[in-house]
Structure 1
Amino acid sequence: MTPFLVRSALTGFALWVVTLVVSGISFVGGENTLQRVGIILVVAVIFGLVNAIIKPIVQLIAIPLYILTLGLIHVVINALMLWITSWITRNTTHWGLDVDHFWWTAIWGAIVLSIVSWTLSLVIRDSTRS
């Protein structure tokens, strides 16, 4: 359970950084800081579930596109996962992640999210080795 909570917290932090860097992606809801942190953590869990359930299916279907684009379709698939997370939270609650447009907003969000998540995984991996 602890690794899941740590991964969710890191994903939430990465999503928060994305909202600071990419205009057009934001968190909606939360009147105070504690509520905002809770919303970020819930969105991170939903994003993790979307990545665990939907992403493998999409990747399997997109195998020819991976070959054709030499793997660049992976950025679009990550953007699609952000978009789906935004759609789920926007249509089921009055709070969550809001992505304005798919094409450039979600694409840049996916790129920044990948870079921040990769950097955090390096930092966490190095700190656990010490």
Structure 2
Amino acid sequence: MRLLVSAVALGLTFWIVDLCWNGQLLPLIIIALIFGVVNALIRPLVILLTCPLIILTLGVFVFVINVLMLWLTIWVSYQLGLGFTCVPEFFWNLVLGAIVLTLVSWVVSLMVPDEREAHRAH
């Protein structure tokens, strides 16, 4: 279920923001998997390595890390030929994409119950 939520959030983000997405829906599941792997393996390492910078900026640098993780996901997907016509060269498109992805993920997660919370309720 989480994979589908990520795919929907990514698809809406790519549709709203110009991130060189070609509009193909089928590769979104694979792109969501790549996004999950990037966020599960690379993001924690980057956060650990930049911890002093995160503290110094009062957490704002985490947003920069989120932008980089979105860019990395798009770059890997492009290299694999999955739904992108280019890698976005404009930093502000990626920033806007990260903002939209955060908001869309939040809204979609409100609509779809979390399995862990359902288990805690029983």
Task: Specify the TM-score bucket, using the shorter chain as the normaliser.
Answer: 0.7 to 0.9
Q: CA deviation at 1:21?
A: 1.6
Identity within the alignment, %: 41
Q: CA deviation at 1:38?
A: 2.0
Choose which of 27, 32, 37 in structure 2 pairs with 1:44.
Answer: 32
The structure with the greater share of residues assigned to strand is 1
Choose which of 13, 17, 22 in structure 1 pairs with 2:17.
Answer: 22
> Equivalent residues in 2 for 1:85-96 (5 A)?
85-91=73-79, 93-96=80-83
> Equivalent residues in 2 for 1:1-130 (5 A)?
6-23=1-18, 25-28=19-22, 36-91=24-79, 93-97=80-84, 98-101=86-89, 103-125=91-113
Q: CA deviation at 1:110?
A: 0.8
TM-score (normalised: structure 2): 0.83
The structure with the greater share of residues assigned to helix is 1
Greater relative contact order, per chain length (Cα 8 Å cut-off, separation 6+): 2
Q: CA deviation at 1:55?
A: 0.4
Q: CA deviation at 1:27?
A: 2.5
CA RMSD of aligned residues (A): 2.0
**8 Å CA contact retained: 1:99, 1:105:** no
Counterpart amino acid of residue 36 in structure 2: G
C-alpha distance in 1 between matches for 2:3 and 2:101: 13
Give unpaired runs (5+ residues) of structure 1.
Answer: 1-5, 30-35
TM-score (normalised: structure 1): 0.78
Number of residue pairs aligned between Structure 1 and Structure 2: 115
